[in-house]
Structures are given as C-alpha cells and as structure tokens.
C-alpha cells in the first residue's frame, strides 16, 4: 500500500512552521523574515511570534508578504499554564484566526488561575489551528505533561534553534512513548528561528497539497500529508505485509522504528531505493522511518499504524 502522503493529490511544498520576528523576541521585521525564507527557496512560512502580554499578544500579519510563489500561514506560539517543572507552556499553533482571544499570560511566568496548557491547546485546535507540542527536550517536559495536551496534532521532534542554542533539539522520546500508549500523533521539524544566532534554515516540512495556499496547506498538515527534513527527500513509501519500500534522494542509512526497542537499519552508499524487512515489528502497532544522508542530515516520515 502506498503511503497516504504519496497517494494524496497535489505536489510537495517546503515550509517552516515555527519562526519569530521583532513583534516578539526575534531580530528582524516580519517582512524581512518572509523575504529571507522565500529567497532560500521556501514555498511558505508560518511566523509564530510569542502570544504573550509583554509583546501585546501578537498574531503577526504576514498576508501582505504573500505572492504567487510564496505564501504564509498565520499562527503563534502560545503560553499559558504550568508544566511539572514550574515553567510555562510553549505550544505551537499554526492557522490561528487573528481574533484568537488572548489568555491571561502577561509574561513568561505562570499566573494563578490562567488557562492550562491543555485548555489553550484545545481552544487553538477548535479555532482551526494545527497544534504541535513544542520542543519537549528544551522545555524539560515530563511525559505526564505531554500526555495532557490531548488536542495536539503533532510533536516537534527537531527544533533547529534548540539544537543551536542548547543542544536540546529532540522530541522523539516523548513522541514514541505517546505513540506506544495509542496516541495518534504526527511529527514535525522546525527552525524556531529568531535570527539572533544561526538558528534558521535547518529543519522544515514538505507538505503534499493541491495548491500553495494557506487553506490547502493547513488541511494537508492536519491530514498528516507531509514529511520533515534537514536535507534528504522521500520520493515514495510503499508498505507491504513483510517489508517497506523506500524511494528517496541519495542516502547512506534507512531506519524503520517501532514500539520499544524495535528498529531495523540498512546502510550503503548513495542509496535511492531500499527495502526493509518488517519481521522485527510483529508486536508494534506503529512504524516510522528515518533516512540519513552522507552529511548526517535526516528526514522523517510521519508514523503509520498497522
């Protein structure tokens, strides 16, 4: 069976889902952020400034920077409620309406009586947003914390800014444990770019959509019709009863992961097609794939359920 991402109609568009401007703590004006992403070959951008009182709760208007080659999706990084470590939540919301009501979050510290992380995530999803649990490792997030965000579509499994600034880019441990509890979640790679350090153009999504428009891209994101990358590209994935066939750009490693310790890898030089046996995964209800190129850059498909 061809993976649903490749069976869906349309073509792939490259985009970044997590970015900041000087409307919050980024260094550049929104127009310049959009210009740079377009110049780097991106098809779309979600500029997600911190939706918090010290920045006057911005949902930054990037509509004027759209054209027939480049589009934007409105969004924000939401903050409200306390995690188990005492810090405030960071929740990525892409596709928010500009009239989304602010929480009682005047600063980056928790406030008594404010919405919980779970509540603001649910409110964002109900308003039409694609919701992701942001940078679990960087946040020091517990599994109990992550369990509580039931409205999430995805977990941010690679955050380039967190890699550059803190060497805490990872969200796979959180994702895999939630998958193994039966949560139907996707994954995403992002920049979290502020342009205050080399935190940009390092992680992105490739979205299969019928057109490069906010509505079409957002629908594809919610449907899971995308993969995430630092460089390599998936060209096709076919799931069979006993194996999975992976077509890609030239890579040196193909890895299939499943529940617990289940993983199988193939290694070679400039591989563009690989067939990985699935006998190791007889007890795993979900599977996902990582490809790695010669430079060590990775790409990841969303989990599939057997």
In this predicted structure, the answer to whether residue 1 has a pLDDT above a threshold of 90 is no
Q: If residue 12 lies in a helix (H) or strand (E), which one and from where to where?
A: strand 11-16
Based on the structure, what is the number of domains in the chain?
2
Question: Could you list the residue range(s) of the whole structural domain that residue 169 is in?
Answer: 4-229
Local confidence band at 138 (pLDDT 50, 70, 90 cut-offs)? very high
Are residues 205 and 227 in contact, defined by beta-carbon separation less than 8 angstroms?
yes
Are residues 50 and 25 in contact, defined by beta-carbon separation less than 8 angstroms?
yes
In this predicted structure, the answer to whether residue 129 has a pLDDT above a threshold of 90 is yes
Are 261 and 163 members of one domain? no
Which has the closest alpha carbon to 186: 281, 73, 288? 288
Are residues 224 and 186 in contact, defined by beta-carbon separation less than 8 angstroms?
yes
Are 163 and 17 members of one domain? yes
Number of Cβ within a 10 Å radius of residue 178: 20
Are 153 and 276 members of one domain? no
Are 85 and 33 members of one domain? yes
In this structure, what CATH number is given to the domain that contains residue 68? Answer: 3.20.20.140
Number of Cβ within a 10 Å radius of residue 165: 17
Are 141 and 215 members of one domain? yes
Sign of the alpha-carbon torsion through 282, 284, 285, 289 = negative
Are 194 and 248 members of one domain? no
- Distances 38 to 29, 124, 211, 231 between C-alpha atoms, Å: 15, 27, 17, 17
Last residue in a domain, options 229, 250, 279: 229
Per-residue model confidence (pLDDT) at position 57:
97
Are 239 and 225 members of one domain? no
Are 206 and 297 members of one domain? no
Q: Where are the alpha helices (DSSP H) in 3-148?
A: 4-7, 30-39, 117-126, 136-139, 143-147
- Distances 286 to 170, 278, 283 between C-alpha atoms, Å: 20, 11, 9
Last residue in a domain, options 198, 214, 229: 229
Please state the rounded mean pLDDT for residues 48-57: 98
Are 192 and 263 members of one domain? no
Global pTM reads 0.97
pLDDT digits (tens, 9 = 90+) for 148-200: 999 999 999 999 999 999 999 999 999 999 999 999 999 999 999 999 999 99
Per-residue model confidence (pLDDT) at position 2:
83
Report the share of the chain in percent with pLDDT over 70.
100
In this structure, what CATH number is given to the domain that contains residue 272? Answer: 2.60.40
Do β-strands 286-292 and 298-301 pair in parallel, antiparallel, or remain unpaired?
antiparallel
Are residues 244 and 3 in contact, defined by beta-carbon separation less than 8 angstroms?
no
Are 258 and 200 members of one domain? no
Last residue in a domain, options 229, 255, 281: 229
Are 183 and 241 members of one domain? no
Rounded CA gap, 77 and 18, in Å? 8
Q: What is the mean pLDDT of the chain?
A: 97
Location of structure tokens 């992701």: 132
**Across the strands, what pairs with 243?**
277
pLDDT digits (tens, 9 = 90+) for 233-272: 999 999 999 999 999 999 999 999 999 999 999 999 999 9
Are 180 and 244 members of one domain? no
């Amino acid at each position: 069976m061809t993976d649903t991402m490749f069976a869906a109609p349309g073509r792939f568009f490259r985009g970044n889902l997590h970015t900041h401007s000087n409307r919050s703590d980024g260094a550049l004006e929104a127009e310049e952020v959009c210009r740079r992403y377009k110049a780097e070959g991106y098809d779309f951008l979600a500029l997600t400034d911190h939706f918090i009182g010290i920045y006057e709760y911005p949902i930054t208007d990037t509509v004027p920077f759209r054209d027939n080659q480049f589009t934007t999706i409105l969004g924000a990084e939401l903050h409200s409620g306390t995690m188990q470590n005492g810090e405030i939540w960071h929740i990525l919301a892409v596709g928010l309406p500009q009239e989304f009501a602010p929480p009682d979050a005047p600063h980056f510290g928790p406030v008594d009586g404010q919405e919980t992380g779970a509540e603001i995530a649910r409110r964002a999803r109900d308003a039409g947003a694609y919701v992701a649990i942001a940078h679990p490792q960087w946040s020091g997030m517990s599994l109990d914390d992550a369990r509580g965000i039931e409205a999430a579509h995805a977990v941010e499994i690679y955050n380039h800014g967190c890699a550059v600034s803190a060497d805490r880019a990872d969200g796979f441990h959180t994702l895999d444990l939630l998958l193994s509890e039966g949560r139907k979640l996707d994954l995403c790679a992002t920049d979290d770019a502020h342009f205050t350090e080399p935190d940009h153009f390092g992680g992105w999504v490739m979205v299969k959509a019928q057109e490069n428009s906010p509505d079409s891209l957002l629908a594809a994101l919610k449907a899971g019709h995308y993969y995430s990358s630092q460089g390599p590209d998936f060209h096709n994935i076919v799931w069979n009863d006993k194996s999975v066939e992976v077509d890609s750009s030239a890579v040196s490693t193909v890895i299939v992961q499943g529940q617990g310790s289940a993983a199988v890898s193939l290694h070679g030089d400039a591989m563009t097609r690989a067939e990985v046996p699935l006998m190791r995964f007889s007890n795993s209800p979900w599977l996902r794939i990582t490809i790695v190129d010669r430079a060590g850059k990775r790409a990841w498909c969303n989990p599939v359920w057997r």
